[in-house]
Amino acid sequence: MDDQPKEGGEGDKKIVHTYALVKHSDMSDELKNEAIEIITTACEKYAQNYELAAKIVKEAMDKKFGTFWHCCVGEGFGFEVSYETKNILYLFFGGNLAIVLWKCS
């Protein structure tokens, strides 16, 4: 009688984001947009190799915005980092893939 989908039934659908979902950032909009573009490209190209995706992001950021960038790509991790003000980005891509990008010197 109830038209609402039941838990565990056909109505339960996993939501997968096909765009970057930014959880925290204090970067300028220009820097953030560039970083998201680099991250999206790397994560799509190396979807099965998180280590290589992180390396590509780090190298691209070092080349474009100066050295001392760091990047972690993976699932199910926590982090606490020291970083330069206005230089951290934490986002999710493709559902549960987390990316942390920060700069410290």
Query: Does some domain include residue 27?
Result: yes
Residue-range definition of the domain harbouring residue 52: 21-103
Under the banding of pLDDT at 50, 70 and 90, the label for residue 14 is low
Query: Does some domain include residue 13?
Result: no
Closest Cα partner for 24 from 84, 102, 91, 79? 91
Strands 21-25 and 69-74: unpaired
Query: Does some domain include residue 78?
Result: yes
pLDDT in tens, 45-74: 999 999 999 999 999 999 999 999 999 999
Provide the CATH number for the domain around residue 88.
Answer: 3.30.740.10
Under the banding of pLDDT at 50, 70 and 90, the label for residue 105 is confident
Closest Cα partner for 62 from 20, 104, 6? 104
Query: Does some domain include residue 9?
Result: no
Structurally, the chain folds into a number of domains equal to 1
| Strand, coil or helix: 16 | coil
Q: How many helices (H) and strands (E) does the chain have?
A: 2, 4
Which residues, listed in sequence order, are joined to residue 13 by a DSSP beta bridge? none
Query: Does some domain include residue 37?
Result: yes
Residue 10: pLDDT above 70? no
Range with the poorest average pLDDT among 3-7, 21-25, 89-93: 3-7
- Complete DSSP assignment for 74-85: ESS--------T
pLDDT reported for residue 18: 67
Query: Does some domain include residue 15?
Result: no
